[in-house]
Structure 1
Amino acid sequence: MKIAEAAQKTNVTPVTLRYYEKVGLIPPIERKDGIRNYSEADLNWIDFIRCMRQVRIPVNDLLEYTKLVQKGTDTRKNRRAILVKELEKLEQENHNIQQTITRLKTKITLYDQGKIK
């Protein structure tokens, strides 16, 4: 499929897709007569990258991960380590967010009860 359809299906702009390819966040896209031809595997990879970027996983970490994937199965241990590291960071961030949510709910309840003026 062409870039416009791929952009629509992945919910990113064509400019973003070109950027992802240019910097190496996604593997090079097959071309037919010079026009990008996205496969379902490409869309799945784009969706993965988009998901990771939504939670602010650094581009450099994703670039390293992408390069390792392209090198093949011998890099599985290193790829897994990257994902574990990112998961641990997200879990810590989630813990911090949950603490803040609890604190805000408590504060709001105190306002609702008239205990804070």
Structure 2
Amino acid sequence: MKISEVAEKVELTPVTLRYYEKVGLLPNVKRKNGVRHFAESDLEWINFIKCMRQVKIPVKDLVVYTELLQQGTDTKPLRRQILVDELHRLEEDKRTIQQSIERLKAKIDLYDQGKIK
């Protein structure tokens, strides 16, 4: 698939995909006569990156993860730890967001009850 096809499928721009390739997040994109050709397996990887970026995992951390992945199975414990650390961060963010939601609901209830003018 060409970059425009991939961009449409994964709902990212070609500019974003080129950037990801430039920084090392898409290191194995094949080229024919200078034109990028993506495989189905590239789509899975791009969707993983997209998912991680949606929860604000920094590109630099994903680059480290990608580099470790390319180094092979010896890096499996390090890669796993990166994911565990990010999961813990997301769980903490979730707790913080939930606390904010509860606080807002309580405040809105005070308005609904006429206790705030």
Measure, in 1, the Cα distance between the counterparts of 2:89 and 2:28. 29
Percent of matched pairs sharing the same residue: 64
Q: How many residues align?
A: 117
Which whole-Å deviations, capped at 9, do the CAs of 1:4-46 have from their partners, x for residues lacking one? 0000001110011111001001223011222111011111111
Measure, in 2, the Cα distance between the counterparts of 1:107 and 1:79. 42
Q: What's 1:99 paired with? A: 99
Q: Which moved more, 1:95-104 or 1:46-55?
A: 46-55
Structure 1 position 53, deviation (Å): 0.8
Measure, in 1, the Cα distance between the counterparts of 2:28 and 2:16. 14
User: What is the identity, as a one-letter code, of the residue corresponding to 1:15?
Assistant: V
Which whole-Å deviations, capped at 9, do the CAs of 1:51-71 have from their partners, x for residues lacking one? 111111011110100000111
Aligned alpha-carbon RMSD (Å): 0.8
Please state if 1:27 is matched with 2:27: yes
Measure, in 1, the Cα distance between the counterparts of 2:33 and 2:59. 30
Measure, in 2, the Cα distance between the counterparts of 1:88 and 1:26. 26
Q: What's 2:61 paired with? A: 61
Measure, in 2, the Cα distance between the counterparts of 1:27 and 1:47. 15
Q: What's 2:79 paired with? A: 79
Measure, in 1, the Cα distance between the counterparts of 2:59 and 2:2. 25
Structure 1 position 83, deviation (Å): 0.2
Measure, in 1, the Cα distance between the counterparts of 2:75 and 2:28. 19
User: What is the identity, as a one-letter code, of the residue corresponding to 2:92?
Assistant: Q
Measure, in 2, the Cα distance between the counterparts of 1:17 and 1:61. 17
TM-score of the pair, normalised by structure 2: 0.97
Please state if 1:3 is matched with 2:34: no
Unpaired runs of at least 5, structure 2? none
